[in-house]
Structure formats: structure tokens, C-alpha cells
Amino acid sequence: MLLLLNTFTISVKNNMFQPVSLFIGLRYSRSSKGNAFISFISFFSIAGIAIGLMALFTVSSVMNGFENSLKTNMLGLIPHVEVSAGKNTATQMGTLKTDLEQSPYVDHVSLYRHGEAILQTNKDLHGVLLQGLYNDSGSLYKITDKIVQGDWKTVLNKNYNIAISRYLSRKLGVSVGDKLRVIMPNASTYTPLGRVPSQRLFKVAAIYETGSEIDMALAFTSGASLQRVLKLDKNTAPNLSVSLHEPFELDEFIEASQRILQDHNYSDWRSTQGTLFAAVAMEKRIMSMLLALIVLVAVFNIVSALTMMVSEKQGEVAILQTLGLTPSQVQKVFMVQGLYNGVIGTAIGAFLGVIFSLYINELLALVGLNLLAGIELPVKFDILSLVIIAFASIAMSFLATLYPARKAAKVKPAEVLRYE
């Protein structure tokens, strides 16, 4: 009781510097005396929030890194938007190319051809999408950063040279300098023996590796070489491949370029890779929702601890009211105490989450959980989403204080102190 009077006296003296409700609430939060069981629950509410937030930060950063890795490795090697030439002439496609390059969403527009092909060697055969690129495509595709053997310039500048993935080179049993047969099922010639698919020997000039599924289904050659294998007329205009600064801003680009694209047939990356990225986004949302339940359970511990503390300290609350504290100030005392646990737990969890995310691969190696082939988990911090998670944790902690604080404000001094 004496401690309570001293606390109130000190708080009144310092009221010009610190609100009395804040002073008493912090004093209650930091006090080591009191019911051990309540202190136990308060400790686990802080620990629960910290662990939940650490898990949320880590999972969110790893999933963002995984999504960014897929975006770089897969979407960097295919057109974000492909505009079909149709019956347009090369001059018309050149004009369209110039118009599309004016869009603020566009990074680069390139001439482009593609066709389904079968790569055949004495060892095996494999179906791929064969992309025909031109010299201006160097800034469009990120494949130059993925070349592990050979020379990418040879693929573009010399006829009948091809770039395949390391996966395909192993599967087909070829390396740089070897030859393989490229068969185009959709292009054919008629011979006395019947319809024969167009085919040609290509030299392997480069080998790339992205470490993603795209390695199994993509090969590259020059646009001129692919045009000849496809038996296309020299005057046939190539398609256009549009590369965006941000592939996920596809809808905004299409809406802004509707006037330009309305008379042309076009397709985008969602038709081939959209399902995969939708699955990744759904997995990220579900995992975040499940981990958020950990924080929610910890927040309920704040409700339990504060409710029991209100019941235990009814006498002190009544004395504070007789000394001049209004019900509103009493309510703020317990709101400060509950929010204190939420802020401390959030701060600890955020700090540990960032540290754990930064060193997650080293920590996994330390406990012997090495991924296959030395693959490391990608990590990317999205500052905005992490700040939102932290503020959501604090907001839930604040909401958890409302019921116990309101209950404390309704304490009637006359009834509590009747027999004191």
C-alpha cells in the first residue's frame, strides 16, 4: 500500500513530463513483485508474440525470396507479353515496336520467333520451346547472366547454333561443340516418302543454367536460323517480345496499352507460368495466416493476464480512484500495461526475425539441415510488408487490452473498500 502511495506521489510530481496513467502502467509492467502465475502468463505472452513474429518475418522473407528467384530465373527468359505479327508487315511491326517502347512499364521490346521443337541425339530426345532471338534481344533476356559454358554471341550471330540448359546437355549427352538434330513437327516438307518434319543439325554453342523448371523446356537460337527451319518466307514479319520492368504489373501495362494492342493478337506470361506463381502466392498467404495464429494465441494470453491482474489489484485501483484518478485514467493504466507486453514482444520478434532470415542458411548448415546440391534458401526483405506485420501485432495487442481495462475502469471504490 505504501508503495502505491509513493508511486502515485512520484507520478503526480512528474505529471508535467509524463502522464500519470503512463507512469503507473509502466511501473506495473516492470514490477517484479506480485502474483507469480500472472507474471508467468505475461512472460509467455511476450515470448509467444516474439516467436510468432520471428516465424512470420522468416517465412515471409524466404517466400518473397523464392518468388523473386522464380521471377528472375523463369520470367527473365520468356516474353512477358508476346504480340503476334499475324498478317502485318515488318514495317508495321516496327512501328508497333516503337509505340510500345514509349510505355513507362516497358523495359525493352525485341523481335522474336518461337516454335515447338524436338532435340534429338543418339542418346535421347526431348521436346522444348525453341526461341529465335535477334541481336537487339541482348538487353531483353537475362540468359547472358546464366551462361555457364560457351559463347552467347555465337548463338545470335552464326546460323544453326543453339543454347541449351545444363539439364538438357546431360540428358541428351552433348556438350559445347557437339551437334544435335532439331526437328520442327509443325513445319514440314513433302517428299516421295510423304510428309517429313523440317529438321536440321545444330551446333551446341552455349549452355545455361537457372536452377528452375524452365531448364527442362527452353532452348535458344538466332531468329534467322529458326525462320529457315520453320520454312518461313523471308518477308514474314517476326513477332514482338515485350519485357516489362516489373512482370507483376502486367494488368497495368495492358490497360495503359489497350489502344495500341487492340488490333493485335497477344499473349502474356500468365498463360504458361501463371499457375505456378498463383500457387506460390497462395502458399505464402496460407503459411502467413497459420503463423499469424501463433501471435493471436499469444495476444489472448495478454487478455488472461490483465483480467487476472485487474481482479487481484481491485483494492489498489479503488485507492487510486479515491486519490483522484478518473475511470478513464484507470483504463489507460491497464491499456499501457498490456500494450507494453505487445510492444516488447513485437520488438524482440522483429529483431530475431531479421537476424534469423539473414543467417538462415548458415543456421540450417549448423544444425545439419543442408539442402540438396548445396542450394541455399533465397531471402528478400519486403520492408512494407514487414512493417505492416509488426504494426498488426501491436494493434492486436492493443485490442486485447480493451476488455480488461474497461473492467478495471468499472471498479467502484466504495464497494471494494467497504471492509478495508
- Note down pLDDT in tens along the chain; length 420 residues: 444 445 444 444 444 445 766 666 666 666 655 556 566 777 777 888 888 888 888 888 888 888 888 887 778 788 888 888 878 888 888 888 888 888 899 888 888 888 899 999 988 889 999 998 887 654 445 677 788 888 888 888 888 999 999 999 999 999 998 999 999 888 877 767 667 888 889 999 999 988 777 888 889 998 889 988 888 887 888 888 888 888 888 889 988 888 888 888 888 888 878 888 888 888 888 888 888 887 887 777 777 777 777 777 666 767 776 766 677 777 777 777 778 888 888 899 999 999 988 888 888 778 776 665 557 788 888 888 888 888 988 888 888 888 877 877 776 665 656 555
Phi, psi of 164 (to 5 degrees): -125, 170
Instruction: Answer yes or no: do 259 and 296 share one domain.
Output: no
Whether 50 is covered by a domain: the verdict is yes
Q: What is the dihedral of CA 305, 297, 381, 366, to 10 degrees?
A: 90
The answer to whether the CB of 244 falls within 8 A of the CB of 105 is: yes
Instruction: Answer yes or no: do 29 and 164 share one domain.
Output: no
Instruction: Answer yes or no: do 147 and 114 share one domain.
Output: yes
Instruction: Answer yes or no: do 292 and 260 share one domain.
Output: no
Instruction: Answer yes or no: do 86 and 155 share one domain.
Output: yes
- The candidate with the shortest Cα–Cα distance to 71, out of 241, 331, 245, 239, is 245
The answer to whether the CB of 246 falls within 8 A of the CB of 119 is: no
Instruction: Answer yes or no: do 114 and 260 share one domain.
Output: yes
Asked which of 223, 244, 268 is the last residue of a domain, the reply is: 268
- The C-alpha cell of 290 is what? 497459420
Instruction: Answer yes or no: do 233 and 310 share one domain.
Output: no
Instruction: Answer yes or no: do 198 and 323 share one domain.
Output: no
Half-sphere exposure of 239 (CA within 13 A, CB side): 23
Instruction: Answer yes or no: do 50 and 170 share one domain.
Output: no
The answer to whether the CB of 296 falls within 8 A of the CB of 396 is: yes
Asked which of 268, 302, 334 is the last residue of a domain, the reply is: 268
Cα–Cα distance for residue pair 122/419, rounded to 1 Å: 100
- The candidate with the shortest Cα–Cα distance to 220, out of 276, 275, 168, 277, is 168
3-state DSSP assignment of residue 109: strand
- The C-alpha cell of 397 is what? 495487442
Whether 75 is covered by a domain: the verdict is no
Instruction: Answer yes or no: do 50 and 172 share one domain.
Output: no
How many domains in the chain? 2
Question: 169 is in which domain, residue-wise?
Answer: 80-268
Q: Is the pTM higher than 0.95?
A: no
Instruction: Answer yes or no: do 32 and 162 share one domain.
Output: no
Cα–Cα distance for residue pair 155/203, rounded to 1 Å: 9
Instruction: Answer yes or no: do 122 and 242 share one domain.
Output: yes
Whether 273 is covered by a domain: the verdict is no
